[in-house]
Amino acid sequence: MPRYAYRARNAQGQPMEGILDAPSEVAVAEHLAGDGFIPVEIRRAGGEGLSLSMPLRLAARKPSHAEVTLFARQLYALTKAGVPIIRSLNQLAASARNERLSAALRETVEDLESGRDLAGAMARHPAIFSPLFVSMVQVGEASGRLDDALYRVYRYMEHERQTMNQIRTALRYPMFVVIAITVAIFILMAYVIPVFAQVFERFDLDLPLATRAIIAVSNFVAAWWWAVLGGAVAAWFAFRHWTSRDDGRLWWDRQRLRFPVVGDIVLRASLSRFARAFAMASRSGVPLLQALNVVSRTADNTYIAGKIRSMREGIERGETITRTAAVTHVFTPLVLQMIAVGEETGQVDEMLEEVAEFYETEVDYDVRRLGETIQPVLVVAVGVIVFILALGVFLPMWDLTQIAGR
C-alpha cells in the first residue's frame, strides 16, 4: 500500500505532520478529517512532483445517485457472470470516474481481504452507500443470493430516481409560484405599503384593522428586513441540525406521515420498501428476527423503522406476524390482510411482493398527480393573500375618494 506524507492542523490551529499508509490521497484526507484534523497538504512519501494541494482534494465531489445506481448495475452483472467479488470491485474502482467512489471501492477491497464481509465494508462509507444498499447486500450475503440482492438494489434505486424526477417536475410550477408571490409580497411590504401609509397619515384617516395590521407588518419588514432574512436562514440551519439528531429525526419522520396528501404517499412508499425487502429476505431463508432487524433500515423513516423493530418482541413471545404488525398501528389494512393470507397459505413472500407492486403503482400515480393536487390549494392561498392586501389598501382609498368628492 502506498505511503503518504501529510501536514495538517488540529482544532486549536497547531501544525502537525506524519505519514499514513492509505490507498489514495482522498482516503488520507477522510482519515484526518474523521480524527478532527484539517489537512493542509498531502503528498506521496518519497516521491517528487506528486504534491497535492488540499483545494483539489476537498473538491472531490460525492458520487451522484445515478453513479451509485450504475455501480450497483455493473456489480450485479459481474457477480451474476461469476466474477469474484474482489476482482469485480477492483475493475469497477479502476473504471469509476468519481474519485471518492473509486477510493471507497479500493478501501472496500482491502476490508474484504482482511476478513470483513461486503456489507460491513460498505457500511464504513455511509456517504456513498445508503443503509438500504448495505441492508440489501447483507440480506443477499446471508441468503447466498448476492446477485439477486444487487439487482433489486439497482431496480429500487432506478425506481427512486424516476420518482424523484417526477416529484421535481410536479413541484416545479408550484415552487415557482410560491417564490414569485413571496418576492412580490416582500417588495409590497418594504416599498409600496410605506408610500400608502404616508398618504393615509397625511389625511389623518380612521384606518380599518386590516390596514393597520398591514402597515405595522410593513414598517417592521422595512426596518428589520435583515433580521427577518437572517432569522429565516438561522431557523433553517437549526432545523437541519436538530433533525440530524436521533430524537429530532424521529419527531420529523413521524410528523411527515401526518402531512395532507404527502404523508399518505410517504407512508405507502415506506411500506412498499418494507414489503419488497421482507419478501426477499423471507424467500431467501433469512431467519425472521434477523430479517426484521435488517429490513427495518429499508423503510427510510425512523418512526416506521422503530415500529418494525418492535415487532421482534411479539414474535419472540410466539405471536403471529399479523398480530405484531397490527399492534404497531403503522401498517395499512391491505398489508395486514395480505400478511394474514400469506401466513395461512405459507406464501408470505409472494403476498408481500404483490403489496409492493400495488403500492409502487399507486405511489407513481399519486406523484404524477401531485402537481394537480397542490395547484388548487395554491390558488386559494394566493387568493386569500391578495384579498387581504386589497382589503387593507383599497378600503382607505375609498375613504380618500369620498373626501376628494366632498
The answer to whether position 246 is within a domain reads: no
The answer to whether position 191 is within a domain reads: no
Domain tally, the chain: 3
Q: What is the pLDDT of residue 349?
A: 83
Confidence of residue 251 (pLDDT cuts 50, 70, 90): very high
The answer to whether position 317 is within a domain reads: yes
Q: Are residues 52 and 22 in the same domain?
A: yes
Q: What is the pLDDT of residue 56?
A: 38
Q: The cell 445506481 sits on which residue?
A: 69
Predicted confidence (pLDDT) at residue 367 exceeds the cutoff of 90: no
Q: Are residues 268 and 326 in the same domain?
A: yes
Predicted confidence (pLDDT) at residue 205 exceeds the cutoff of 70: no
Q: Are residues 135 and 44 in the same domain?
A: no
- Collect all residues with Cβ–Cβ distance below 8 Å to 218 and sequence separation of at least 6: 188, 189, 190, 193, 194, 197
Contact call for residues 352 and 339 (beta carbons, < 8 A): yes
The answer to whether position 362 is within a domain reads: yes
Q: Are residues 94 and 38 in the same domain?
A: no
The answer to whether position 329 is within a domain reads: yes
Q: Are residues 29 and 96 in the same domain?
A: no
DSSP per-residue letters across 261-293: THHHHHHHHHHHHHHHHHHHHHHHT--HHHHHH
Q: Are residues 105 and 33 in the same domain?
A: no
Q: Which of 351, 368, 385 is the last residue of a domain?
A: 368
Q: What is the pLDDT of residue 257?
A: 87
Q: What is the pLDDT of residue 13?
A: 55
List, in sequence order, the alpha helices (H) in 7-98. Answer: 25-34, 54-58, 65-80, 85-95
Instruction: Tell me if the pTM is above 0.85.
Output: no
For the chain, give the longest Cα–Cα distance.
95
Q: Are residues 104 and 80 in the same domain?
A: yes
Predicted confidence (pLDDT) at residue 114 exceeds the cutoff of 50: yes
Q: What is the pLDDT of residue 51?
A: 38
Q: Are residues 99 and 19 in the same domain?
A: no
* Tens digits of residue pLDDT in 5-55: 777 766 555 667 777 777 777 677 767 766 666 666 777 765 443 333 344
Predicted confidence (pLDDT) at residue 173 exceeds the cutoff of 50: yes
Q: What is the DSSP letter of 3?
A: E
The answer to whether position 318 is within a domain reads: yes
Q: Are residues 53 and 124 in the same domain?
A: no
- Range with the poorest average pLDDT among 21-30, 183-192, 246-255: 21-30
Q: Are residues 122 and 95 in the same domain?
A: yes
Give the residue with greater pLDDT, 107 vs 141: 107
* Tens digits of residue pLDDT in 310-338: 888 888 888 888 889 888 888 888 888 98
- Say what percent of the chain tops pLDDT 90: 5
Backbone φ and ψ of 6, nearest 5°: -135, 155
Q: Which of 58, 79, 105 is the last residue of a domain?
A: 58
Full residue range of the structural domain in which residue 348 is found: 262-368
Predicted confidence (pLDDT) at residue 390 exceeds the cutoff of 80: no
Contact call for residues 29 and 54 (beta carbons, < 8 A): yes
Q: Are residues 47 and 80 in the same domain?
A: no
What's the grid cell of residue 135? 441492508
Q: Are residues 49 and 84 in the same domain?
A: no
Average pLDDT over residues 250-276: 85
Backbone φ and ψ of 244, nearest 5°: -80, -15
* Tens digits of residue pLDDT in 120-133: 899 888 888 877 78
The answer to whether position 249 is within a domain reads: no
What's the grid cell of residue 308? 418494525
Average pLDDT over residues 82-98: 88
Q: Which of 129, 157, 185 is the last residue of a domain?
A: 157
The CATH number of whichever domain residue 327 belongs to comes to 1.20.81.30
Predicted confidence (pLDDT) at residue 175 exceeds the cutoff of 90: no
The answer to whether position 311 is within a domain reads: yes
